[in-house]
Structures are given as structure tokens and as C-alpha cells.
Amino acid sequence: MTTAVAFEAVTKRFGSTEALRGVTLEIPSGSVFGIIGPNGAGKTTAMRILLDLMRPSSGSVKVLGFGPREGGVALRRNIGYLPGELILEGRVTGAALLAHYTRLSGHVRRGRITELADRLGVDLHRQVRTLSKGNKQKLGIIQALMHEPELLILDEPTSGIDPLVQQTFHALVHEAQDRGATVLLSSHVLSEVEQVAEQVAILKQGEIVTTSTVLALRETAKRRISAVLSGADASEVRASLASIPNLGEVRVVEQENALTLRLTGVLGGNPDPLVKALAAFSVADVSIEAPNLEDAVLDLYGQNGGAS
Ligand SMILES: Nc1ncnc2c1ncn2[C@@H]1O[C@H](COP(=O)(O)OP(=O)(O)OP(=O)(O)O)[C@@H](O)[C@H]1O
């Protein structure tokens, strides 16, 4: 496994603000990797350092095997970058703007820009300043992807674009990965990155709180469960649930008719032991919600009454 991006003990200070505090992270080549964190966590700073738009205060980074500075223009042309705060020249058409970026990016396959514009649904003949925020964002996505670079660095790429276009964007990310590219993308929320990324790093106040696969995060995430059991005895139900790992907040309440019990709780991890335990009773209704990944992440941020 080769590494596309490596941070080694990177710190970045702005006066008394420590935007990054000893970040060490390796992003495998060919992966789709998400950095998530709340406002001010340091996501943009980390990305800007990779592009040599900023230098670390200490520590080092390697991008496609080079230091961002030593890699120079050749390295820059091998990266597609979508900044979080997109500022585009407004008094030209989208087509003219992208032609300008093509001169900077190097080779762009014939028909590639039109294909991307058609798929994302943006009119390249309009003046950029007349486009909506979402349509401007599409131009930003096109300029990042059009030269099919080895590394994509996308800072909150889906900000302002509607869910249908997000689907197209996800397909484009997967296509980039299929041709061997590495994709690094950031977001405030996991729900945005979990659909495309295999791995995520969670950044909080300049430090990596955890790195995890999306799959593992899903396994630690909690889900609300409820069931209605007919003709069961409450103490028997409680006893049978006592041995189920990671089942908490259990409530067993007799329904008004006294014939049924309503069971509620919060389950972490695999639902199999619970399902098997319930199978011993007559189950009139059952609901096991999808794992709440947002809560799992908020726990890690320390904003959910969880670990800080
Ligand atoms: N040029 C700068 N000068 C001073 N402080 C800065 C500068 N750039 C970033 N910071 C500070 O560094 C910290 C990290 O900011 P950064 O923009 O990297 O966070 P972020 O995770 O991208 O946040 P957001 O989700 O709000 O975009 C913040 O406290 C921010 O105020």
C-alpha cells in the first residue's frame, strides 16, 4: 500500500491560535478519505498546507511523494483542488473561466468539460456572476476534476448543491477512484462523506480525535429499538435482555390492555443478540432504527455528553 498524503506531527499557529496541533495522518493511495470536524477544527488549514498555500509551523507533509513546495507546478497540476470559499471571476462565461483554468491545469481531455457540465447540469454559456451559488459550486467541481488529477482535495464539495446533483458528484468521485485517484474531502457532518468515503478522520480543535473506517463507525453507533411483545411477563423480558451486550436505557412498560408489553432501548453494535432474544417471545411489532452515525461523531466531538 502506498501513501498519497502524509502529515507528520504538523502544527500550524496563527498568533495565539493553534489551528493544527500535532496532526499525524496517512491517506492511502486510491482511497476516498473524509476529514470531518466542526467549524474551526482545522480542516481547511490542513488542506491548504497540502497545496503549499500555507506552510506548517512545524512538522512535515508529503503529497504524492513530494513536499508541497519542492513538488512545484508539476505536483500542483497533479492535484485537483476545490476551495471551501470559492471565489470566481464573475464577468466571463463559465466556458471562458474553465478555459483559463485549463491553461493552468495542463492537459484536459477533449469533450471532458462539456461532459462534466452536462452531467452536473450547469450552463457554461452564462456569465459566472449570473449563476446561483450551487451552479458556481458546480464550476468549482468541474475545474477540480477536469484534468483527471492523481489527487483530489475537495473542501466541503457539496456545499450548496442539491441532493440530485450530490448523487452525480458521488458518481464522479467513484469514477476518479476507479481510475486510481486518491480523494480527500472535508465536511462538518459525517452524513455527507459516509456515502463516498471508506475512511474518516475526525478533527477537533486541531487534533485528530480518531481515524476509523466508516464501517467501524457504523458498528459503534447506537440505534433506537422498540418492540411490542404479546402475552409476555415483564420480569421475564428484563431477565432475558440483561445479558445482551451494549443494550442500554431499557424500559419495559405494560400496555393499557395488560396483554402486551412495550420495550424500548438503545442498542450499540450488532443487533443479532437482541433479535435472537426477542424471538423467544411473541413479537407483535419491532423497530430497529438505522445506526445514528451523527450521534457517534458528536460523541467523539464531545458535544453529545460523550467523551471529549
Ligand atoms: N489566516 C488565518 N489567520 C488567523 N487564523 C486563522 C487563519 N486561518 C484559519 N485560522 C484559524 O484556525 C482555526 C482553524 O480554521 P480552519 O479554517 O482550518 O477550520 P475548518 O475546520 O476548515 O472550519 P470551517 O468548517 O468553519 O471551515 C480557526 O480557529 C481559525 O480561526
Place of cell 471529549: 308
The CATH class given to the 3-218 domain equals alpha beta
Protein residue closest via CA to atom 11 of ligand 1: 19
Kindly report the pTM of this predicted structure: 0.83
Query: Between the CA of residue 223 and those of 150, 194, 211, what are the distances in Å?
Result: 38, 17, 21
Detail the DSSP E strand segments found in the chain: 3-14, 17-28, 32-36, 58-63, 79-82, 151-155, 182-187, 199-204, 207-213, 222-230, 247-254, 260-268, 282-288
Contact 271 CB / ligand 1 (< 6 Å): no
Contact 14 CB / ligand 1 (< 6 Å): yes
How far is ligand 1, taken at its centre, from the CA of residue 205, in Å?
10
Which atom of ligand 1 is nearest the CA belonging to 155? 22
Reported as type and span, the H/E element at residue 305 is: none
pLDDT at 301: 67
pLDDT at 270: 84
Contact 191 CB / ligand 1 (< 6 Å): no
Which atom of ligand 1 is nearest the CA belonging to 203? 21
Contact 40 CB / ligand 1 (< 6 Å): yes
Contact 39 CB / ligand 1 (< 6 Å): yes
Query: Between the CA of residue 171 and those of 164, 185, 192, 273, what are the distances in Å?
Result: 11, 14, 14, 36
Q: Where are the domains of the chain?
A: 3-218, 222-290
13, with CB counted inside 10 A (0-12, 13-18, 19+), is middle
Protein residue closest via CA to atom 29 of ligand 1: 40
Give domain 222-290's CATH superfamily: ACT domain (3.30.70.260)
Which atom of ligand 1 is nearest the CA belonging to 206? 14
Q: What is the 3-state secondary structure (H, E, C) of 202-250?
A: EEECCEEEEEEEHHHHHHHCEEEEEEEEECCCHHHHHHHHCCCCCEEEE
3-class DSSP state for residue 296? helix
Contact 188 CB / ligand 1 (< 6 Å): yes
Protein residue closest via CA to atom 1 of ligand 1: 14
Check: CB of residue 247 under 8 Å from CB of residue 210. Answer: no
Question: For each of the chain's 308 residues, which pLDDT tens digit applies?
Answer: 799 999 999 999 999 999 999 999 999 999 999 999 888 999 999 999 999 999 999 999 999 999 999 999 999 999 999 999 888 988 999 999 999 999 988 889 999 999 999 999 999 999 999 999 999 999 999 999 999 999 999 999 998 899 899 999 999 999 999 999 999 999 887 777 888 999 999 999 999 998 989 888 877 778 899 999 998 899 999 999 999 988 999 999 988 777 899 999 999 888 899 999 999 999 999 999 877 776 777 776 665 544 43
Protein residue closest via CA to atom 18 of ligand 1: 42
